[in-house]
Structure 1
Amino acid sequence: MPRSVPGRSARRNPAAPLVSVLACSAILLCPLAAHGSVSVLQPPRVIDATGPLTLTLLVTGDQDLRRYAVPESLDVTASGDLAAPARMTLKRVGTGPAILNLRRGENRTINYRGEWPEGLRGQVRLDIIGIDAAPVLITLNRAPGETPATVTAPVVAGAPAAPKASAPAATSAPPAGNAPPVTPVVSAASPSAPVPAPADLRDAQRLSFNDPMYILFGAHDGANAKFQISFKFRIYEGKDPGSKRFIDNLYFAYTQFSLWDLHSPSKPFEDTNYRPSLYYYLSDTGVKNSVISRLSIASGFEHESNGRGGTDSRSINTLFVKPTMYFGDQNDWHWRVAPKVYAYLEKSENEDIAHYRGYMDLNLAYGRPDSWEFAATLRKGTQKTYGSVDAQVTYPLARLVPGTAGYLMLGYFYGYGESLINYNQKTPWQVRLGYALSR
C-alpha cells in the first residue's frame, strides 16, 4: 500500500497552497484537539553519555483525523539517583511539517537531540515536560568506548516492537484501517503546558523521603551538631495509582532528630526526639489554577517525645493538617508554602508548650530543583514574642562535585525549642554547615 503523503492535494489543486496556509493559521490560533496519542520510544538501557541524547516521539492517530502541532524543541527533566533534577532542551532533528494530519491508526516519528548535563550519571529518569508520556529509565555511562554511541531504539517502553525511527525527519507508517494502535500510548497534552517533574523524587517510590535528612556542624557557644533522618512508607497500594481513597493513600512516617554536644569531654547527645506519624497524603490533589501550580495535602496523627523519664520527659500528641501549595513552574524557580496546623491531643508533660511553639509551623521555600533553595520554618507562640526561625540554604552537591548526591546545606536557628528538652528556653543563635540527603 503506498504511503500517505501530506500535501498530495496541493499538487492536484492550484488553490491548495492558499487553503493550506489559511488552514494552518486557523489551527495555530485555535487549540488542537487531543484526538490521538504520543509515546516515547525507549532508548537503549545503557547509553554512552559522551554523545548526545536522541529521543523519538511516536504520534498515533486514534480517530478518523488527528492534527498534532509538532514542537520544535522538548524540555526534559533528567533525574539521577538521589540527585537534584537537571533540565535539558532537545531540538528537533531535521525538518518536517509543523502540523501532522493523521488518519486513524496512522503514526509518525519525530526525533529530538540534545547534550547531556555535565554532572549527570548512573541510573537516570527522563520526563518530557508538557507531554503526558511515561517516563524513560536508562543507565548513563560516561566511560568512553564502553557502550554504543547510538541512543535510539525502536522499542516503546513496556510495549512490543514499533517501527524504527532512524530517519531525522518525520516519517509515517501505513494506516492500520480501523484497528486500534498496537502500542500502549497516552493522550497528548499541549506542548507548551507545564507538567511538573517528580517533586524532587520525594513521592516517586513507595518508601520515600519525608522531612529533610541532614547532618550539620556548628560552634557558637560550644561545638555542636544536629542531624535528622526522616522517611515515609505507603502502607497499601491499590490498583489505581491515581486513587484518592483513604486506604490507598495512608502513610506511616518516622522522623528522628538529635542535638549533639561536641564541646563537652564525653560528647553526649543533648536531646533526641522521636516522631512517628500516621496520615493521609495526596502528593497532587489535582487543584490547579492561574496562581497555584500544584496542591498537596497531608492530614493525620503524630506523636513526638524524647524518650526520657522523670523531669526530663517531654511528649506531645497532635492532629495536623498540612496543605502544600506550589506557585510557579516547578521545573524552574518557584515558591512553596506549607502551613502545618495542629491541635494538641495530649501535652501533660509540657502543658505550656503552645506558649512557645504555637499551633502552626509555617514552611516557606523559594528555589529551583537543580539549583539553590532558600527555605525557612517559622513558629510563633501564643505568649509574648516566643517563637523560632529555622532556615536553610541548600545547593546540589553534584553541581560542585560530579557523581555525588545530596546537597550542601547551611542552616540557621534562633529562638525557642530547637528540641523538646528546651522548648521553653531561648537558645543562642546557631549557624551550621553540613550535608543534606534531601531538602
Structure 2
Amino acid sequence: MSQTTLSRRRTSAPPTGKSLALLCLSLVLAWPLSGQAAVSLLQPPRVIDGTQPLTLTLLISADVGTRRYQVPETLEVTASGDLQAPLKLVLQRVGAGPSIVYLRKGENRTIQYTATLPPALRGQIRLDASGIDAAPVLVTLNRQPATPPPAQQAQPATVAAAPQAEAAQAATKGDNAPVPLVPVAAAGQPAPSPSDLRDSARLSFHDPMYFIAGPHDGANAKFQLSFKYRIFEGENPASKRLIDNLYFAYTQFSLWDLSEQSKPFRDTNYRPSVYYYLSDTGVHNRTISRLSLATGLEHESNGRSGAESRSINTVFFKPTFYFGDQNDWHWRVAPKLYAYLEKSDNPDIAHYRGYMDLGIAYGRPDSWELSATVRKGTWKWYGSVDAQLTYPLARLLPGTAGYLMAGYFIGYGESLLDYNQKMPWQFRIGYALSR
C-alpha cells in the first residue's frame, strides 16, 4: 500500500496580559519538531492460508522530524474476490501496545492487525483499506494448504508512494497532543471509493446482468447482458480528460415467451452507447460519500422492420449519488436525464417513457440490495416501475459468485416493442451476475 501522511492542526486561544510569557514558554517546550511521517501497509505473502486469520502490518516512520501519533485500535479493509460482492473486514490490533507512539527522525514502528477471513472469500482477493489513497493489496487464499504454511514475515509492499503532506505543528495551552493516526488522502487527491465490481477493470459491468423467469400470464423470462469498455487508458489514472475517460458500452435485453410451443423471443432490444464517465468525481461531503458522472450518446432499437420497428437516439446525462458508508448500508440515487435526437419509429414514446429514468437503490455490498428504476411519461399516469431484490449467492454457497435475484415489473413498455402498451405485472426469480 502506498504512503500517506496524516496531520491535524490545533489552534490556541489568543493569549492576553500576563499569560503571554507563560504560553510562549509552554509552546517552546511542547511544540513538536517539524517533520513528515509515512504510514504504509506491508505486503503479506502472495499465497496465504485462508483457514487462518488474516494479519496485516502497518509501518509508521518519521522521515524528517520527531512526532507523536495516536494509533487506532481497528483497521477497516474492503475484501473482494473475482466477481464476488465486496466484504467489509474490521481488523483488531494485535497485542496491547501503546496507544501513542513517539518517533524520532529516522525511527519506525510496526503495528499488526488481524481478523478472521469469511468463508465466502476464495481465490485471489483484493484488499482495500477504507479511505486511504493507496494501491490495493492482492493475496491468493489457499484454504487447503498441502504443507504447513511458512511463517508470515511481512515484506514492504512494492507500491507507488503517495505524495507526503507536511506534518502540521500545533499546541493548545502547552498540551503536546498526539496526531491521530487516521489515514487520509494526500492533499488535493480524493480518497478512492470502496471496491466496486462495476468499475473493477478496463472491461467491466455496465448495467445489471441477469436471467429471471416467472409464470404470470404464461411462462416468460427476461435476461440482460451488459458491459462497458474503457477505450483509451491514459498515463494518469486520476485524469478527468475526455479522451482518458471515454467508454463504449453495450447492453442487450430480451423478453422470452416460454408459454408458446416454439418458445419465441417476444422482443430483443440492442443498446450501444459512447460516453464520458468518471467513477468518482471527487465530490465528497457530510451527505454525499461519492458522486459518479456519465454523459454521452445512446442508441436503442429492436432490430425489426415495418410496423414492429422501434428505434430511438438520445443524448443523456447521468449523475450517480451515493449516500452513507459504501461498505455498509447506503443509498444510491441515479437520475438518467435524456433528450431524444431521433424517434421517428415511435414519435410519441415520451408520452409513455418521459425524459428521465430514476434509479434508486438501498443495500449493502455483501448483503441485500433493493433497487428500482422508475419512469413517468408526459401523459396521464403512463410510466413503469422495474424493481429488483438481490442477495450474494456466496453467502449461501461459498465458492460461488453473483446474486440470487427477484424482479417485479408493472407499467408500460417493458421492451421497446410494447412502449405504448400496459403490460401485465410480472414477478420473476433467477440469477444475476452483477447488480
Normalised to the residue count of structure 1, the TM-score between the two structures is 0.84
1:247-266 matches, within 5 Å, as: 247-266=243-262
Residues 208-258 of structure 1, C-alpha deviations (whole Å, 9 max, x = no match): 110000000111001011000111111111111101111111101000000
Gaps of 5+ in 1: 1-21, 28-32, 160-183
CA contact 1:40–1:133 (8 Å) conserved in 2: no
CA distance in 1, matches of 2:301, 2:217: 26
Match of 2:271 among 271, 275, 290: 275
**Is 1:292 paired with 2:292?**
no
Distance 1:187 1:264, change over 3 A: farther
CA contact 1:37–1:186 (8 Å) conserved in 2: no
CA contact 1:196–1:329 (8 Å) conserved in 2: no
Distance 1:37 1:431, change over 3 A: same
Q: Secondary structure at the match of 1:321?
A: strand
Distance 1:199 1:126, change over 3 A: closer
Q: Secondary structure at the match of 1:156?
A: coil
CA distance in 2, matches of 1:356, 1:34: 63
Gaps of 5+ in 2: 1-25, 166-179, 186-190
Q: Secondary structure at the match of 2:430?
A: strand
**264-273 or 133-142, which deviates more:** 133-142
Greater RCO between the two (CA within 8 Å, min separation 6)?
Answer: 2
Normalised to the residue count of structure 2, the TM-score between the two structures is 0.85
1:129-148 matches, within 5 Å, as: 129-146=130-147, 148=149
CA RMSD of aligned residues (A): 2.4
**37-46 or 312-321, which deviates more:** 37-46
Determine the structure 2 residue equivalent to 1:330: 326
Counting matched residue pairs gives 389
Q: Secondary structure at the match of 2:407?
A: strand
Q: Secondary structure at the match of 1:349?
A: coil
Determine the structure 1 residue equivalent to 2:297: 301
CA distance in 2, matches of 1:53, 1:192: 20
Matched letter for residue 289 of structure 1: N
Distance 1:343 1:434, change over 3 A: same
Q: Secondary structure at the match of 1:110?
A: strand
Determine the structure 2 residue equivalent to 1:176: none
CA contact 1:60–1:102 (8 Å) conserved in 2: yes
Matched letter for residue 76 of structure 1: V
CA distance in 1, matches of 2:393, 2:97: 41
**Is 1:382 paired with 2:382?**
no
Query: Displacement of 1:109 after TM fit?
Result: 1.1
1:312-391 matches, within 5 Å, as: 312-391=308-387
Distance 1:34 1:97, change over 3 A: farther
Q: Secondary structure at the match of 1:350?
A: coil
CA contact 2:35–2:65 (8 Å) conserved in 1: no
1:94-105 matches, within 5 Å, as: 94-105=95-106
CA contact 1:38–1:185 (8 Å) conserved in 2: no
CA contact 2:132–2:192 (8 Å) conserved in 1: no
**Is 1:408 paired with 2:404?**
yes
| Sequence identity percentage | 70
**Is 1:310 paired with 2:301?**
no
CA contact 2:36–2:63 (8 Å) conserved in 1: yes
Distance 1:418 1:152, change over 3 A: farther
